[in-house]
Amino acid sequence: MIREVTAKTLLSSAKRPDPWFGIKYTMNLYRGCPHQCIYCDSRSECYQIENFTDVLVKVNAIDLLKKELPRKRVIGTIGTGSMSDPYQPVEAARRLTAQALEVIAEQRFPLHALTKSDLVVRDLDTLQHIAQVYAAVSFTITTADDELGRKVEPGAPLVSRRFAALRKLAEAGLLTGVLMMPILPFIEDQPENITALVARAKACGATYILASFGMTLRDRQRVYYYTQLDRLFPGLRRQYEQQFGARYSATARAAKRLEQIFTEACEHHGLATRMPFYEPAPPLQPALF
Ligand code: SF4
């Protein structure tokens, strides 16, 4: 179900940019996400989203952004995509992300968009405009296999479409990369999956690939994930329960070895394992006479 809501504020600020994604201001134009990844952390109780399949459209988001951005004293990277995908299907008609990007371009703020959708290619022109300051687009891809992707991310565009979108943006000169996170224990933690992802990211023109070998398993997130395991991978829940109990996070099998394989593959392909962040231009030096 799609519902319209009015938000009080839009941007939330961090004291300093986070060390993984370089994000200082977080922007969520929608709440809820029909991509329905079985592992989605946004289902956790702390986020207080009662029905994650409902999509809430913040109808006043663009007005809020126009008011809030000029008041920011510190220019910092605006991140979108951490709690709901900015290019989920409703965006094709509502265009909130497209309009927000135009405001960001006008206000000359840097941007990092995180998505699982090839709809982002629609906004290439605006992204190029923003890139005069700084723009990065990261595609979350956790398996190189379309069929497995269809199981674990049933509402999201196929992995092959995400790679094709990454290629288009990279060929247009945008900074792009892959977020290889989470890696689901017993499902995606084979060395062949890791090396295939790195090789494909490189072949499509990615500059960086960020990885995390495991997943979180919090309260409602865990409940939902386990019901999906029962449906899609019968018997696997038992292995999880034995291995991880009530722990908050679940680490991939042989995570250290996987990390080593990942690092070597990235070195081999010349891919960075950290993304380059926005850096403010140094102030102009006064001319010396
Ligand atoms: S795309 Fe992101 S926000 Fe949407 S369901 Fe998947 S993990 Fe959750």
CATH number of the domain residue 191 falls in? 3.20.20.70
Q: Which amino acid is at 73?
A: R
DSSP letter, residue 48: -
- CA atoms of 27 and 78, how far apart (whole Å): 7
Cα of 283 to ligand 1 centre, how many Å? Answer: 39
Structural domain span for residue 72: 2-269
Cα of 85 to ligand 1 centre, how many Å? Answer: 6
- In-domain check, residue 274: no
Which residues does ligand 1 sit against, CB inside 6 Å? 33, 35-37, 40, 42, 84-85, 116, 156
**Owner of token pair 């960075």:** 272
* Residue of 51, 38, 271 whose CA lies nearest to 175: 271
Return the structure tokens found at 105.
């371009």
Residue nearest to atom 8 of ligand 1 (CA): 40
- In-domain check, residue 231: yes
- In-domain check, residue 279: no
- In-domain check, residue 136: yes
Return the structure tokens found at 123.
């906004």
DSSP string, 183-199: --TTTT--HHHHHHHHH
Q: Could you tell which of 31, 55, 85 is best to mutate to test the pocket of ligand 1, judged by most ligand atoms within 8 Å of the CB?
A: 85
Residues 6+ apart with CB under 8 A from 288: none
In three-state secondary structure terms, 226 is: helix
Cα of 224 to ligand 1 centre, how many Å? Answer: 13
Task: Please answer whether residues 88 and 113 qualify as being in contact, where contact means their C-beta atoms are separated by less than 8 angstroms.
Answer: no
pTM: 0.95
Helix axes 191-203, 159-171, angle to 10 degrees: 30
Measured from the Cα of 35, ligand 1's closest atom is 5
- In-domain check, residue 280: no
Cα of 214 to ligand 1 centre, how many Å? Answer: 16
Residues 6+ apart with CB under 8 A from 218: 41, 44, 45, 46, 248
Cα of 40 to ligand 1 centre, how many Å? Answer: 5
- In-domain check, residue 63: yes
- In-domain check, residue 282: no
- CA atoms of 171 and 275, how far apart (whole Å): 18
Residue nearest to atom 7 of ligand 1 (CA): 40
Cα of 212 to ligand 1 centre, how many Å? Answer: 16
In three-state secondary structure terms, 46 is: helix
- In-domain check, residue 289: no
- The four Cα atoms 53, 214, 12, 7 give a dihedral, to 10 degrees, of 0
User: Tens-of-pLDDT digits for all 289 residues of the chain?
Assistant: 899 999 999 999 999 999 999 999 999 999 999 999 999 998 888 877 777 778 999 999 999 999 999 999 999 999 999 889 999 999 999 999 999 999 999 999 999 999 999 999 999 999 999 999 999 999 999 999 999 999 999 999 999 999 999 999 999 999 999 999 999 999 999 999 999 999 999 999 999 999 999 999 999 999 999 999 999 999 999 999 999 998 999 999 999 999 999 999 999 999 999 999 999 877 777 665 5
- CA atoms of 250 and 232, how far apart (whole Å): 19
> For the chain, what is the domain count?
1
- CA atoms of 169 and 176, how far apart (whole Å): 7
Kindly state the greatest CA–CA separation across the chain. 77
